[in-house]
Amino acid sequence: MLTKMNLFTDTVMYKALLEKDSTFEGLFFVGVKTTGIFCRPTCRARKPKKENVDFFEKAKDALAYGYRPCKICKPLEKPGNTPEYIQKILDDLAGDPSLKLKEQDLRNRNVEPNTIRRWFLKHHGITFHAYQRMLRINTAFKKIKKGDSVTNAAFDSGYDSLSGFNDSFKSVFGVAPSQSKEKQMLDLTRLETPLGPMIACANERGICLLEFTDRKMLETEFKDLAKRLNASITPGENKHFKSLKNQLNEYFEGTRKEFDLPLETPGTDFQQLVWKQLQTIPYATTRSYKEQAEAIGNPAAVRAVANANGMNRIAIVIPCHRVIGSDGKLTGYGGGVWRKKYLLDFEMNNC
């Protein structure tokens, strides 16, 4: 039976525990024999000796073995998932982006402002108040694009003055609202998957980016994408996100073998050719970089094909995880080789 934990040795998991490595969140739990509790890999508690730990793939396995959940890291709560109280706030903001929730408003909802600030910094890289400002800018930008006046767009989006709106707009887009005709907006959202949280971006034409949040190149991809599309990236709703979430859920449930989503993939002609060819690799099969080079009619371009694969911004949907070395080895993958192995094993077990 396929498991995530069998990808790692005890040595690898113990090292992750010592380093509090967040990339292992959700992949295993550790029981401490001397205390009788079990923890996440990232727990802040004092680390036990290696001979005093048991490793488990699931929390229920640790419970069945007699361990109690740690009160510090709370291993029974799903890692990466958006807490219910934060999801309610996100839903309210999506329904009315002009809504301004100040610290007292949060306390009235029994939400501690520092708690939500830390959550947004960790998962979005910005404070909660910055997130609200970006959401209002996103809404105003779309209103202007649809023909609304700058004044109406500003006040309908919750701004108290035109000068404040103009300053905020310039800080995001680099130009005044009246000069933003050529600019684009890329909406950004956070998705939760069995392999960890992902970030998605989309415009009116389709999905532009889908990456695991711990990808080292993510910031570089944001900058490159924004430059190529003359766009700014801000949190916001997009008509393509619902389909993306549904199809990803179906994929991880083993019921979807192909994705049917509009994609926006700016790049060179060669990159476009490679990315298009990637989408022809059937579910639960693999090809080598050499075979990919031959498939695009350029057998000498193996290294260039590998580089183009690495520049793919839409993980899983454009299945670069299905390309392996000629010797059968799993070479580099932006989301981590362990995820590549899991995806390939998962597809083989569901084909």
> Which ranges of the chain does DSSP label H, i.e. alpha helix?
10-19, 59-64, 84-95, 103-108, 113-124, 128-145, 150-156, 162-173, 218-229, 241-252, 269-278, 289-295, 302-310, 337-348
30 strand-pairing partners = 39, 55
Six-digit token pair at 60? 């229920």
Q: Are 211 and 316 in contact (CB under 8 A)?
A: no
60 strand-pairing partners = none
**Residues annotated as part of the active site:** 39, 320
> What CA–CA distances, in Å, run from 87 to 83, 205, 336?
6, 27, 28
Q: How crowded is residue 55: how many other Cβ atoms within 10 Å of its Cβ?
A: 19
CA atoms within 13 A on the CB side of 164: 9
Residue 38 identity: F
CA atoms within 13 A on the CB side of 193: 28
Q: Which residue has the tokens 């970006």?
A: 134
> What CA–CA distances, in Å, run from 182 to 4, 154, 170, 191, 209?
46, 19, 14, 29, 21
Rounded CA-CA distance 38/75 in Å is 7
End-to-end CA distance of the chain: 14
